[in-house]
Amino acid sequence: MADSIRNNKMNVRVLYNRLLDSNKVAFANVVWCSLAMPKHRFIFWQAALGHLLTRDKLLMCHLHIASDLCSVCEEVQESHSHLFFECSFSHQLRTRLENWLGKATWLSRYADWHLWMEGKPKGLVQKVAAATFAAAVYLIWKNRNKCIFEHRSWSIDFVVHQIRYAVKVRLSRAPKIKIKSRDLAVFDYMLHL
């Protein structure tokens, strides 16, 4: 704070940057990956912070709800951990996305989520994985809301198609991404699926 004052004048830019640096979250680079769509990033950010209003959160706020069970599988109390990692819908989605991406990119436990996200996505493969994960979190949340308000769920095939389409669109319209020769095959593969 003291370094933002010089000759009895406040330098707002220096103060602002100091405040920003003190509030940085380790996983911000993964969440705000440029390949992910903005609406996916926002829900991903809320989920990563545990701020989405899952049914366990609503009960903690002493709100009366008809059931605390997961609105998608209706088997276990709905929480961030259950909805994004343990729910049968999420598990099936994870399996399909792992088959599509060719490797295990999705963690199986909520506790490991922040550890995975603390690294900065450096190459194209990591950025595609981050964008895919953001799209999956967004669509799982959207499907959960569809189950609550419309009493029906999307199929896994539909959600996988939406995720693949979103990632391919972002890849095809991302002129600022520098593609290294080792990532060229991945880029070509993703665009031509």
The answer to whether the Cα torsion of 146, 147, 149, 154 is positive or negative is: positive
Contacts for 38 with CB less than 8 Å, ≥ 6 apart: none
List, for residues 141-164, the tens digit of each pLDDT value.
999 999 999 999 999 999 999 999
pTM of the model: 0.81
Written as six digits, the tokens of 106 are 């999705």
Cα separation, 131 vs 159, whole angstroms: 14
Per-residue confidence (pLDDT) for residue 75, from 0 to 100: 95
Written as six digits, the tokens of 12 are 């707002």
Per-residue confidence (pLDDT) for residue 24, from 0 to 100: 66
Distant-in-sequence contacts of 39-45, Cβ < 8 A, 24+ apart: 39/138, 40/131, 40/134, 40/135, 40/137, 40/138, 40/166, 41/134, 43/134, 43/137, 43/138, 43/141, 44/133, 44/134, 44/137, 44/138
Contacts for 159 with CB less than 8 Å, ≥ 6 apart: 93, 136, 139, 140, 143
Per-residue confidence (pLDDT) for residue 92, from 0 to 100: 94
What residue has token string 């998608």? 72
Assign 102 to helix, strand or coil.
coil
Which residues, given as ranges, of the chain have pLDDT below 70?
1-7, 20-24, 102-108, 114-115, 117-121, 174-193
What residue has token string 């990532």? 183
